[in-house]
Amino acid sequence: MVFYSRTGLTVLCNKAGGFSVSRLAVHKDKIPSIIFLFVALISWEGLVRFLDLPPFLLPGPINVLRELYFGLAGGVFLVHTWVTFQEIIAGFVLGVGIGFILGVLISEIRIVEQTIYPYVVALQALPKMAIAPLFVIWFGFGITSKIVITALVALFPVLVNVIVGLQTVDAKQLDLMNALNGSKWQTFRMCKLPSALPIIFAGLEIAIVLAVIGAIVGEFVGAEAGLGYLILLLNFKLQIATVFAVLIILSLIGVLLHYLVRLSGKKIVFWVGEEKRVVIGG
Amino acid sequence: MGEPGRPIIQVEGLEKTYLTRTGERVKALSDVNFEIYDSEFVSVVGPSGCGKSTLLRILLGILPKSKGTVLLDGSPIEGPSNNIGVVFQEPVLFPWLNVFQNACLPIRVKKLDRALYEERSRALLAMVGLRDFSNKYPFELSGGMQQRVSIARALVPDPPVLLMDEPFGALDALTREYMNLELIRIWEESRKTILFITHSISEAVLLSDRVFILSPRPGSIREIVKVDLPRRRSLETISTSEFGQIAKFIRGFLGQGDGEGTAVL
Ligand SMILES: Nc1ncnc2c1ncn2[C@@H]1O[C@H](COP(=O)(O)OP(=O)(O)O)[C@@H](O)[C@H]1O
Ligand SMILES: [Mg+2]
């Protein structure tokens, strides 16, 4: 399997657990970035040793990898990863659900748009992290407050993209549904929603990235467990190498989830990008 | 819809004025009067922008008129009717549905009997030469093939009235010829009432009982030309001198300035 994301982070692995030459050959364009990674890691390690930097200032990559191994083997990382993962997934699902429903209601029902849309716009401008402390007070130090915060940050890109997506439907397609005597619900289900899907999925890609940030910042504000909580704790104890190890886990989660959303988007809105290839004639 | 010779579409004093976003008024149709009879094939020709598509959209019931009376089978057209099928200028297919699903869209929307109409849909796709393309998606088809899907889609619910807005404009000459002959066959077999908008004078003459010539904007009926060529028409009809005379007569109304009138069949 070859995972790669727009951020340029590349993770290569296959079932056998080693690099597969044929697959590597397919992704020849990835080789420069992999070489860069190794060069950067070696220079980093060299720099740390040469300047004799103390590990609480900047640990070298070997040190970090060792901490990663011990953290994983000892099970500590897994416990906290599982907590954060739950927060991200639950928050993402909740935020996407609410964002989608709100977006549809605002787009399709005039009175809803007139009543709540101005407030939605105002709320969107508000930095959501600023209200995070409130949620900790309302929902406690447990997982709930983090899910709510995550949902709130994941909600807006979905909401906005649902509204934009539903507006960009082709007028000619609406004419067709109209001419076929389609009901409002049929037009929504058979025409507007599928038309909006590519833009909605673009929103989901943003939402999943924000969900990871939301969960971590939520944990920074107040938590009993989770990778964000762990980072704060380790920072406090100046165990910086372990902080770096946690950051690696966090980026892997981010890249993996983003990749999954992107992949399902490509599978579901398969027609995007293909339409422009239409040949005129015959 | 019953006996031939009975008016199916009646238009009287029809006027349409668009209000643009900038507050401008664009008069697209002015005092349009005509009747189309049951099982009749009528073509509409006229310079670009004279209101042909506007007329079609009003008859289709998806665009409100400004003035006048528009009757379908004796009752005013106030919205889309299940008795009218349409082929737009562009194919307007859903990219997320394959060819068969696109053709079957009216079945889903109108909740028609699946088994019966899906069979019909298959037969129509075969008729337009797309039997082997049922599972393809629109983006895998050429523009002409897409338009043929949209023609099959219009015919699937078997509407007694068919409105077609320059449906063959995007087709190459050979496919267009073939589609013309198919349309003649469909019309003769099903006795539908067809209103056919076209840029091609020869196409209009070949297909129609009557040709409506519209004046430049604001469009109104300038002349109605009866095409008294014998049925059943074929490609040989085009080479007769009567055909040439009628085409020439119609071209006379459209003038030289309108290059579109010169499209070949
Ligand atoms: N929605 C609209 N708003 C304003 N003007 C329009 C609109 N649709 C068409 N028109 C104008 O009405 C005239 C007739 O258009 P149309 O019926 O599409 O012409 P045709 O199909 O004969 O080429 C044109 O001048 C066009 O610019
Ligand atoms: Mg037109």
- Structural domain includes residue B145: no
Q: Which pLDDT score is estimated for A120?
A: 87
Q: How confident is the model at residue B262 (pLDDT cuts 50, 70, 90)?
A: very low
Q: Which pLDDT score is estimated for A5?
A: 37
Out of A177, A182, A282, name the one closest to residue B144 (CB). A282
Residues A174 and A36 in one domain: no
Instruction: Among the bound ligands, name the one nearest to the CA of residue B50.
Output: 1
Tell me how far CA of residue A256 lies from CA of A2, A5, A7, B52, B148, in angstroms: 11, 9, 12, 54, 43
Q: Which pLDDT score is estimated for B2?
A: 47
Residue nearest to atom 24 of ligand 1 (CA): B49
- Structural domain includes residue B242: yes
* A-contacting residues in B 212-231 (Cβ below 8 Å): none
Residue A220 contacts residue B120 (beta carbons within 8 Å):
no
How many domains are there within chain A? 2
Residues A35 and A78 in one domain: no
- Structural domain includes residue B105: no
Residues A86 and A225 in one domain: yes
Higher pLDDT, A274 or B185: B185
- Structural domain includes residue A5: yes
Residues A96 and A123 in one domain: yes
How many domains are there within chain B? 1
Tell me the average pLDDT across B102-124. Answer: 95
- Structural domain includes residue A60: no
Chunk chain A into consecutive blocks of 10 residues (it has 282) and report each block's average pLDDT, rounded to whole numbers: 36 37 63 92 92 88 92 92 96 97 94 89 86 91 94 95 94 96 96 96 96 94 92 93 95 96 94 62 38
- Structural domain includes residue A266: yes
Residues A102 and A27 in one domain: no
Residues A168 and A218 in one domain: yes
Out of B62, B79, B170, name the one closest to residue A280 (CB). B170
Which residue of A267, A268, A278 to mutate against B (max B Cβ within 10 Å)?
A278
- Structural domain includes residue B62: yes
- Structural domain includes residue B106: no
Q: Which pLDDT score is estimated for B256?
A: 53
Residues A31 and A93 in one domain: no
- Structural domain includes residue B216: yes
- Structural domain includes residue A223: yes
Q: Which pLDDT score is estimated for A105?
A: 95
- Structural domain includes residue B58: yes
Residues A155 and A259 in one domain: yes
Mean pLDDT of chain B: 91
ipTM: 0.90
- Structural domain includes residue A198: yes
Q: Which pLDDT score is estimated for B172?
A: 87
Residues A36 and A128 in one domain: no
- Structural domain includes residue B22: yes
Pick from A149, A124, A127, A126: which is nearest to A136 by CA? A149
Contacts of A197 in chain B (CB under 8 A): 96
Residue nearest to atom 1 of ligand 1 (CA): B18
| Residue B149: other Cβ atoms inside 10 A | 27
Rounded Cα distance, A253 and A82, in Å: 11
Residue nearest to atom 25 of ligand 1 (CA): B49
* Ligand 2 center–CA A114 separation, angstroms: 36
This prediction's pTM: 0.85
Instruction: Among the bound ligands, name the one nearest to the CA of residue B57.
Output: 1
* A-contacting residues in B 99-118 (Cβ below 8 Å): 105-106, 108-110
Tell me the average pLDDT across B60-88. Answer: 95
Residue range of the domain that includes B36: 1-77+210-265
Contact A279 B90 (CB under 8 A): no
Residue nearest to atom 9 of ligand 1 (CA): B54
| B89-92 CB contacts, 8 Å cutoff, 24+ apart | B89/B53, B89/B165, B89/B166, B89/B167, B89/B169, B90/A172, B90/B147, B90/B170, B91/B138, B91/B143, B91/B146, B91/B147, B91/B149, B91/B150, B91/B170, B92/A170, B92/A172, B92/A173, B92/A175, B92/A176, B92/B150
Q: Which pLDDT score is estimated for A4?
A: 37
Instruction: Among the bound ligands, name the one nearest to the CA of residue B51.
Output: 1
Higher pLDDT, B242 or A7: B242
CATH code, domain with A118: 1.10.3720.10
pLDDT digits (tens, 9 = 90+) for B198-241: 989 999 999 999 999 999 989 999 999 999 999 889 989 999 99
Residues A140 and A42 in one domain: no
The answer to whether residue B260 scores a pLDDT higher than 50 is no
Residue range of the domain that includes A137: 68-276
CATH code, domain with B18: 3.40.50
